[in-house]
Amino acid sequence: MQGIIFGGKSFEHEISIVSAITVSKKIAKVSHFIFLDAGHNFYLIPKEKMIAKTFSSGAYKKMPQLSPIQGGFAYGFLNRKKLVGIQWINIVHGGDGEDGVLASLFAFYGIDFIGPRPAASAVSFDKYLTKMYAKELGVKVVDYALVRKGEAVNLPFDYPVIVKPLTLGSSIGVSIVKEKSGMDYALDTAFEYDDQALIEPFIVGVKEYNLAGALVGDTWELSMIEEPQKEEFLDFDKKYLDFSRTGNANKAEILDKIALDIQEAFKKIYNVYFQGALIRCDFFVIDNEVYLNEINPIPGSLSNYLFDNFSKVLGDLSKKTPQAKEIRVNYHYIDKIHASKGK
């Protein structure tokens, strides 16, 4: 059985709700829904209540509250019920979902799930770690500078630049800065969300391409490559619509060579840290060279609109999630020390 978990204490709480509703319509088999509210409480949501108003109105608070237990969740008090043996699809965008918190909670309670594991979350949620990760794997990235709150800004590249909070997605807190005079305001905006900001050259008119996929066992299941429609850059209002998208992907018209390079870059990024997740990587192409822009380890509406066989891809992935290695705990050393002390 499969369920969807969504919500989260995060700036992307709302879009997670929209995303979960969208995905629930694309996968017939999903039988359970868990909403994680901003107070970190879990609620079991009946399928017929999977509409935005359930959450914005607070109506969800009347639904059964869940507690994590080994293997799943439990609810009820005198008549206690267990939800075990369910694989949860993690659609908590941003904090809680993409920073590895829920992945760790699931690891701790031995709950099977689809989504990024803790190390994958770390290298995708933090844009500075993403840069070093991509470079290590031989995938090009655009220049960057890390600025911490209170530090002076000394850029090794020219304006215009793009200023991003270090750890948020969905374009929240992101500004384009055309000249130095605009930097303070852009940094103030970014620092509302994070104590660090990443600054990159802003490349006017750069070509952007998105590719989603997963390694399922030994098989790569890759989506079409889309050239997303965009304004100056994808702002939150615009991007928000992605989370409710179910179709109309704009297949990129690119040379086969570029398409192959994008696929190769995707595979390098994915393997092996992202096993168990369906991710989307956003690339730039500059002078026919492929650059990683960002990794979305839980993309909006799971990028269902990029696949012509979305339900099958997710079904295949569900059978191949990484399982924890068996750990044998023993007390050999303590016993040995006690023995040598004659106790």
- Interface residues with a copy of itself (CB under 8 A)? 9-11, 13-15, 17-18, 38-40, 52-53, 55-56, 67, 70, 95-96, 99-105, 107-110, 118-119, 121-123, 125-126, 129, 131-133, 135-136, 148, 193-196, 237, 240, 272, 325, 327-335, 337-338, 343
Tell me how far, at minimum, the Cβ of 62 lies from a copy of itself, in Å: 17
Tell me how far, at minimum, the Cβ of 172 lies from a copy of itself, in Å: 11
By C-beta, is 257 or 332 nearer to a copy of itself?
A: 332
The residue whose two tokens read 């979960």 is 20
By C-beta, is 10 or 175 nearer to a copy of itself?
A: 10
Tell me how far, at minimum, the Cβ of 288 lies from a copy of itself, in Å: 26
Residue positions counted in the chain: 343
Tell me how far, at minimum, the Cβ of 206 lies from a copy of itself, in Å: 24
Q: Report d(CA 105, CA 270) in Å as an integer.
A: 22
By C-beta, is 3 or 173 nearer to a copy of itself?
A: 173
**Which residues fall within 8 angstroms of residue 302, CB to CB, at 6 or more apart?**
19, 23, 26, 89, 91, 212, 278, 310, 314
By C-beta, is 279 or 313 nearer to a copy of itself?
A: 279
Helical H runs in the chain?
13-26, 52-56, 101-109, 118-125, 127-136, 183-191, 236-240, 256-270, 310-318, 332-340
Tell me how far, at minimum, the Cβ of 269 lies from a copy of itself, in Å: 13
By C-beta, is 240 or 305 nearer to a copy of itself?
A: 240
Whole-number CA gyration radius for the chain: 22
**Which residues fall within 8 angstroms of residue 268, CB to CB, at 6 or more apart?**
137, 138, 139
Contact 277, 214 (CB under 8 A): yes
Q: How many CA atoms lie within 13 A of 29 on its CB side?
A: 13
By C-beta, is 111 or 212 nearer to a copy of itself?
A: 111
Tell me how far, at minimum, the Cβ of 120 lies from a copy of itself, in Å: 9
